[in-house]
Structure formats: C-alpha cells, structure tokens
Amino acid sequence: MGEIGLEPRRSRKRHKKASHVHIWAIVILMFIAAALLAAYHFEVLPFAREQPGTDIPGNGVGTGQVEEGHGDEGQGTADPVEQTGLACIEQALSARGLYVTMDVFGTPSRFTDVITFIRSNPGLNCLVVDVKDNNGRVPCEAEGIGSKAASYDHFSALVNVLNQEGYYLIARIVAFQDPYLAMAAPEQAIRNADGTLWRDRDGRLWLNPYDKRNWEFVKDVSLWAVEMGFHEIQLDYVRFPDSAQGLEKKGVLMPGHEEYESRGDAIAAFLEYMGEALKDKAYLSADVFGFVTIAQDDMGIGQRLEQLTGLVDFICPMVYPSHYYNPGIYGFEVPEKHPYEVVYNAMEEALTRTQGLRGKVRPWLQDFSMRYKYGPEEVQGQINAVFEHGIYTYMLWNPANVYTKNVDYVPDI
C-alpha cells in the first residue's frame, strides 16, 4: 500500500503498460514452473523421485521380484549365484518391455508418452533402448567411441532416473549393420573384390563379422552402456547379411573367414568374446530371426538356435507373425492372421530345443501392423501364448513406439 506513491508523476498509460508487463512475467514464470513439474513427474529430467507403488501384481517395478507363481515354473530361475553388478535374475526373468528408439528416448516431449503408457499399464516394467542404432549412431559423444553422435547429452541422466525407479533397462546395440563405421573404416566392412563397399539387396552397408576390430568396437559401446546403468546388453543384427550367403568364396572381401569352419562358429566366437567382457557386469542377450526355432542349420547367417543359446543369458527370437511369409507354416495359409497360434508354436519349439542350455527364451512380439491390422486381440493372443508356456518375460516391438491400449500385459494364466 505504501508503494502507491513512489512514482506520482507516472502517466496512466505508462502505469497500464507496466501492469501488463508484470502480468506477462507471472504467466511466463507459471508456465516454466508447470513445465518443470511435468518433466519431473514424467521422468524426463534427472531428478530422483520416490519409487512408484510396488503392490501391483507382476509389475516388478522397484521390487526386483516376480509375482508369486511367475518364475518358479516354465523357464524357472537360474541357480542363485551372487554376481556383483548384475540385476537379480528374477527381475530379468519377469522383464516385460517396450522398444524405444534413441530419438524418442532422447526427446522429453516424445518420451513422456511412452513412460505415461508404461505407468498406465501394470505389468510393463522394462525398456529396450537404442544405444547404437541401425544408422551407427550413439546418443552422445563418448571417449573412445568413434560412432556418429546424436546430441542427447541427458541420456545417461535419464537412465539413472529410470534405474532409481526400478525399471529393468536393456541397451539395444546393433552389431554388424553399421553404415557410419563402414564408411569411416571401409577396411572393416564387407567389400567387393575391387575394394568398394558391398551392399545388401536393400542397399545397406555391413561390418565384417569376422573382423575382431569390429568385435572390440561393439564391446566398447556395450561397456559404455553398462556404465550408464543398463542391466542388459542386447545385440541385434548379430549375424551375417541374409543376402550374402557364400560370398566369401565369390570374391567378396571378408578377411578372417578362413579361421572358422562356418559362419555360425564365427558368431558363436563373437558372443563368447562378448560374454567374457560383460561377465559380472550385465546380462547378455541376442536377437535372432523367428525362423531359428524352425531351421536346423544357421540359415547362412550364422544363427543356429542351440549354438547361440548356450552362449547368452537370453535368446530373443523375433516371432512376429507377419514375418512368417510362406503359406503353410504351422498349417496356416496366412500365418499373420493367427498370432496366438504362431507364437504358441514358436515358443513350443524354442523351449524344446533350448532345454538345459544357458540362455532363457525372451521373445520379441509384434505390436505393429503390416498386411493385417493388429489391435488388442492380436497383441493379447501373443502374450497369452507366451505365458501359457511358463515364460513371463517378453518385449513388444513397434518402430513408431506407439503401443496398443486395452491389453492385459500380465494375464492370469
């Protein structure tokens, strides 16, 4: 009240203008405060929050435990061995995750939608995040990592926040499809006889899976992801190109092939190398084609189910029904229209063939549409097929990171 007479000569117009400035300043401050509060609430800033409720059956968030009855049959649990630095095996065996691209994870406004979806759907407790994607990118610059760096400098901080919340975090690292490194170090890539870079039928560049320099590079990226706080390293494209069968004998340059009897032996040696590097630090998993549960050989790409499962903690067949193109598979003219049956049969084969081996089965399921529209019924059918086999861990793939609502992610089966 005493401040009214401080400027007795101020005109009415100037006083009105000052009031408007004051009001706009308050509005801007309120907007900033609201934005910060929202960012904090949805975990897109590196602020630690109190963990969410842990009384949701099967949620696994913050508890590291599996709901009663989920984990003690089917695949079961590994022998209880204390391993420094590893997440508890029960948490890994009950991880139910969504795939998140590097760009979505690194963009707060987009990641908010994903984390809100997870929080709204009890049972989802895991994220599979690109740390090296199909373009050869990594989230940000890191010492000793010569990849193309995006500008997501808060990446590690967000991983830390999600870690504190109790989510199980998997780093997806694309191993041998890497156009950036292939261009930067062509001597480490698959090349034509004249030295030019070889491309697959889709025009993509590949690193030479025989070259141990590439092994070391993938190892370095993986250990960097572990330092960020990821619990598991998932290697994708851990194979030879599917359009490159027999190229070693046709003049295509892949130095090192003479050391191995088969491509499968080379991929197995690479996974053994990665397993040693990650020992006592993180779990190791490998993405494989869904057809590995059917094929008895390595399909010319170095992926034979039994050979690889013995070298990883989790084997992850991509049993997307839309990818079973051939009529007649599992007795269906159009397998894509029978998601429950396709996944059920694939899990039956996978468990039978991997029984007694080190790796547990954690499938990739389809939450996207190709020739046939997928909705809640199709996604639910796949999850039910997995649970009916005593497998309580799975991952959903949608390249746009938009996932289906009205699905029971922990069905009572």
Task: Return the C-alpha torsion angle 282, 283, 286, 291, nearest 10.
Answer: -170
Q: Which of 1-5, 241-245, 262-266, 395-399 has the lowest mean pLDDT?
A: 1-5
Alpha helices for 198-338 (secondary structure H): 212-228, 263-278, 305-309
Give CA–CA dist 205/208, Å, rounded.
Answer: 10
How many domains does the chain fold into? 2
Q: Which residue do the tokens 């005593």 mark? A: 390
The CA distance from 402 to 400, in Å, is: 5
Domain that holds residue 281: 69-397
Residue 269, domain member (yes or no): yes
Q: Are 112 and 187 part of one and the same domain?
A: yes
As given in the structure block, the two tokens for residue 27 are 């509005």
Residues 166 and 85 in one domain: yes
Is residue 5 in some structural domain?
no
Half-sphere exposure of 312 (CA within 13 A, CB side): 31
Q: Which residues lie below 8 Å from residue 116, measured CB to CB, with a gap of 6+?
A: 42
| More reliable by pLDDT, 381 or 19 | 381
Indicate whether 74 and 31 sit together in one domain: no
Q: Is residue 203 part of a domain?
A: yes
Q: For residues 27 and 157, state if they share a domain.
A: no
Tokens representing 229 are 């706080």
357 pLDDT more than 60: yes
Give me the mean pLDDT over the 88-110 stretch.
Answer: 97
Nearest to 179 by CA among 201, 199, 209, 150: 199
Residue 249 has pLDDT above 80, yes or no: no
Residue 317 phi, psi (nearest 5): -70, 135
C-alpha–C-alpha distance, residues 227 and 156, integer Å: 9
Residue 386 has pLDDT above 70, yes or no: yes
Residue 51 predicted with pLDDT over 80 = no
Mean pLDDT, the chain, rounded, equals 85
Q: Is residue 36 part of a domain?
A: yes
Mean pLDDT of 82-90: 75
Of 243, 396, 399, the residue nearest 316 (C-alpha): 396
Residue 121 maps to which CATH number? 3.20.20.80
Q: Does residue 374 form part of some domain? A: yes
Three-class SS state of 145: strand
Q: Are 393 and 297 part of one and the same domain?
A: yes
**Quick check: is 50 in a domain?**
no
Q: Are residues 178 and 272 in the same domain?
A: yes
Q: Look at residue 74 in the predicted model and tell me its pLDDT.
A: 61
Q: What is the pLDDT of residues 151-166, one digit of tens each?
A: 999 999 999 999 999 9
Of 14-28, 167-181, 345-359, least confident by mean pLDDT is: 14-28
Name residues whose C-beta falls within 8 Å of residue 38's C-beta, 6 or more positions apart in sequence.
112
Query: Is 146 in the same domain as 21?
Result: no
User: Residue 216: phi, psi to the nearest 5?
Assistant: -65, -40
77 and 156 within one domain: yes
Confidence band for 246, pLDDT divided at 50, 70 and 90: confident
Q: Per mean pLDDT, which range of 66-75, 128-137, 171-180, 188-197 is the poorest?
A: 66-75
User: Which helix (H) or strand (E) segment is 113 a member of?
Assistant: helix 108-119
* Residue 305: predicted pLDDT: 98
**pLDDT of amino acid 75:** 75
Residues 6+ apart with CB under 8 A from 236: 172, 173, 174, 175, 287
- The per-residue pLDDT for 247 is 83
Q: Give just the sign of the alpha carbon dihedral 112, 114, 119, 125.
A: negative
Q: What is the mean pLDDT of residues 110-133?
A: 98
pLDDT tens digits for 263-290?
999 999 999 999 999 999 999 999 999 9
* Residue labelled with tokens 């709901």: 67
Q: Is the pLDDT of residue 16 over 90?
A: no
Q: How many CB atoms lie within 10 A of CB 396?
A: 24
pLDDT at 54 exceeding the cut of 60: no
409 inside domain? no
Q: 253 is written with which tokens?
A: 């340059």
398, 99 contact by CB (below 8 A) = yes
In a domain, 125, yes or no: yes
Q: Residue 402: how many CB atoms within 10 A of its CB?
A: 12
Mean pLDDT value of segment 242-269:
89
Q: Which is more confident, 160 or 21?
A: 160
Distance CA 306, CA 352 (A): 10
Least confident among 72-81, 308-317, 380-389: 72-81
Average pLDDT over residues 198-212: 96
DSSP 8-state symbol, 364: E
Both tokens of residue 382? 């796949």
**35 shares a domain with 102:** no
Quote the CA–CA distance of 67 and 77 in Å, as a whole number.
Answer: 13
The answer to whether residues 19 and 83 belong to one domain is no
275 shares its domain with 217: yes
Over residues 354-370, mean pLDDT:
98
Inform me whether the pLDDT recorded for 19 exceeds 70: no
The model's confidence at residue 244, banded by pLDDT at 50, 70 and 90, is low
pLDDT computed for residue 250 by the predictor? 82
pLDDT of amino acid 177: 98
Residues 239 and 279 in one domain: yes
